[in-house]
Structure 1
Amino acid sequence: MAKRITIAIDGFSSTGKSTVAKQLAKELGYVYVDTGAMYRAVTLYALRREFIAEGHFDPHALIAELPLISLKFIFNPDKGFGEMYLNDENVEQEIRQMQVSQFVSKVAAIPEVREMLVAQQQEMGKGKGIVMDGRDIGTVVFPDAELKIFMTATADERAQRRYLELKERGENVTFEEVLENVEERDLLDTTRKDSPLVKAEDAKEIDNSHLTLAGQFEKILELFKEAINN
């Protein structure tokens, strides 16, 4: 049996972490876990409970209800990946909306939220053969991962990708709004006290501002081959 490893993919928002992680997991026959979806689902819960509203955020109310939040991924064979379920409801589409994006970094900065989700993520990865993407996978969740990748791109390029994605879904947003959200999330992700977004010392950095998806995937496959041969 081929050696199975843990692959941690970290990076800024809208760098295509999830896209390449799904692609890699499918190619290798590994389990894929989108940790961003988990934080988005908790954010959606807070929005629905009105712990978050315009100009208002009550983290203490959310912390008090964390035991009531059940998260799980259920594999969708038609899509080829596990979709996010919040308390047994498929919320995969709803968690990708701009309203959730506006608040997810604030929710992810709450230590109690991170503690709960990191414990779940570590449990998912015990058997190896996993590709997990997020903000702190290589630094906190799996500091001993055999392959760590850190993805980055310019803010303008990432905002353009996100803008086109949202427009395709029919959301009424402007490029300026999306760019502002990208830059705000970068600031919050890199400056939060608990598990800030940083590149692990042993991570391989990939700037995909000007890379094609195929070129990027080939690069990552080469890194994987190096990792399993070490």
Structure 2
Amino acid sequence: MNISIITIDGPTASGKGTVARIVAEKLHFHYLDSGALYRLTALSVIRSGINPDDTGQIAEMARNLPCRFEKEHIFLGDEDVTDAIRSETIGNMASKIAAIPAVRQALTDLQTGFRKAPGLVADGRDMGTVIFPEADLKIFLTASVDIRAERRYKQLLEKGIPANIDNLRNDLIERDKRDTQRQTAPLVAAPDAITLDTSTLNIQETVERVLDLFARTIRSRS
């Protein structure tokens, strides 16, 4: 069976998660938030007290994550951790462990297992370059660091989480540096990806662009 795949990669706070989820809903496709898998691993590491330098134990934990996605909710076992994994502490830890090759390998099979009929929309940092290089449509979302910091700031405040925009901006710069310069699966647009700068686009406009690009892709192959 032909299973369509759309990958949406990009840096933190580029809007890729929200866009991917809405696109998946509109197409009635499955949705994979790959970044959440790293955040879930980070949450598990922090809660368990594992030494952050023990890459083997972290990889084993990642390999056996009891996780599932239900619409806008993310579960670790039976616990809804949707908000818990969105803190900056978890995000920074996730960025660090994502640079560990053994952890990325451990999560590869987990991620490819989300490919199910009728289709999949996967967002992350290496969906189009590593996990699903055969994807029908590859999108790379980006935006200026100032715009992304402002988006993350508003997002955290709306959830009642205190934040400092200058600290957020600095964290994004550091995270971008780690993600783009790591040796294993660095953050980069796939050669055949279409780059969309969302600095001046809202979520709905971005979603419409992605849906239009997917429709064109399907028509060109029929």
Tell me the TM-score normalised to structure 2 length: 0.92
Does 2:66 align with 1:63? no
Query: What residue in structure 2 maps to residue 182 of structure 1?
Result: 172
Task: Select 2:67's aligned residue among 69, 72, 78.
Answer: 72
- Separation (CA, whole Å) in 1 of partners of 2:31 and 2:58: 27
Instruction: Say if 1:59 and 1:160 are closer, same or farther in 2 by CA, change over 3 A.
Output: farther
Give the 5 Å matches for 1:23-42. Answer: 23-42=22-41
- Separation (CA, whole Å) in 2 of partners of 1:67 and 1:46: 9
Corresponding residue SS for 1:179: helix
- Separation (CA, whole Å) in 1 of partners of 2:63 and 2:24: 30
- Separation (CA, whole Å) in 2 of partners of 1:148 and 1:64: 28
Which residue identity does 1:107 align to in structure 2?
I
Superposition CA RMSD, Å: 2.0
Query: What residue in structure 2 maps to residue 200 of structure 1?
Result: 190
Task: Select 2:162's aligned residue among 163, 169, 172.
Answer: 172
Instruction: Say if 1:84 and 1:227 are closer, same or farther in 2 by CA, change over 3 A.
Output: same
- Separation (CA, whole Å) in 1 of partners of 2:115 and 2:165: 37
Q: Deviations over 1:164-188 (max 9, x none)?
A: 1111222222101111111111001
- Separation (CA, whole Å) in 1 of partners of 2:62 and 2:27: 34
Query: What residue in structure 2 maps to residue 116 of structure 1?
Result: 106
- How far apart are residue 143 of structure 1 and its match? 0.3
Tell me the TM-score normalised to structure 1 length: 0.89
> What are structure 2's unaligned runs of at least 5 residues?
none
Q: Percent identity?
A: 40
Any conservation in 1 of the 2:16–2:141 contact (CA below 8 Å)? yes
Q: Deviations over 1:94-143 (max 9, x none)?
A: 00112111221101111111111111111211546000000000000000
Corresponding residue SS for 1:177: helix
Moved more, 150-159 or 103-112: 103-112
Corresponding residue SS for 1:8: strand
Which residue identity does 1:167 align to in structure 2?
L
Query: What residue in structure 1 maps to residue 94 of structure 2?
Result: 104
Instruction: Say if 1:131 and 1:68 are closer, same or farther in 2 by CA, change over 3 A.
Output: closer
Any conservation in 2 of the 1:10–1:137 contact (CA below 8 Å)? yes
Any conservation in 1 of the 2:153–2:165 contact (CA below 8 Å)? yes
Which residue identity does 2:202 align to in structure 1?
T
Query: What residue in structure 1 maps to residue 46 of structure 2?
Result: 47
Any conservation in 1 of the 2:11–2:141 contact (CA below 8 Å)? yes
- How far apart are residue 83 of structure 1 and its match? 2.6
